[in-house]
Amino acid sequence: MTIPLLLTGLLALLLWLGSRPDSFGTLYRQQINDFCVLAPAALVDLPIQWTTVTPHSLRGVFARSDQRVSALLTFDEAGDLVNFVSPDRYFSPDGKIAERWPWFTPMGQHRDVGDIRLPTYGEPTWETPDGDFVYGEFHLQEIEYL
């Protein structure tokens, strides 16, 4: 019963994104975020250029044609991913005018989920001029890869 709702929601999202100034970036930033958090092994096959920034952070850049998206991934001492930061994702508080603001997903409560150690908690957040805007949280309970 969830699948039709997901497909309907995805169609609405794609239609809305098609009219946005950064639809390419929005889709790929979200997809890369999801892979980093939930399916890190999938990153191996993606054309992402990785650069070490510090001993505990990497910058990934994905380019297609003249479009690029980037993100900074931060890891703790144990090697667990603790933050995903994209410096230039569009945010539209009114659904009409979009502005570029930093977007990040701090995460924690890492544990083994199946055969992979993953964060089981996260808070997608916009860094707005008025302060951080946490617009959701996730609690991973289980995952199944097909």
Q: For 30-47, what is each residue's pLDDT tens digit?
A: 778 888 888 888 888 888
Query: In this predicted structure, what is the pLDDT of residue 28?
Result: 65
> For residues 141 and 74, what is the distance between their CA atoms, to the nearest angstrom?
23
Tokens representing 85 are 């930061």
State pTM to two decimals: 0.77
With cut-offs at 50, 70 and 90, classify the pLDDT of residue 85: very high
> Is residue 10 domain-resident?
no
- Does residue 44 form part of some domain? yes
User: What is the model's pLDDT at position 12?
Assistant: 42
Whether 108 and 97 have beta carbons less than 8 Å apart is answered as no
The total domain count for the chain is: 1
- Rounded Cα gap, residues 22 and 89, in angstroms: 8
Is the model's pLDDT at 83 over the cut of 80? yes
Contact residues for 70 (Cβ-Cβ < 8 A; gap 6+): 59, 60, 61, 62, 86, 87, 88
Side-chain-side CA neighbours of residue 19 (13 Å)? 8
DSSP character at residue 44: G
Q: Is residue 15 part of a domain?
A: no
Domain limits for position 46: 24-139
Q: What is the pLDDT of residues 99-116, one digit of tens each?
A: 888 889 999 999 998 888
Query: How far is it, in rounded angstroms, from Cα 77 to Cα 37?
Result: 17
In a domain, 63, yes or no: yes
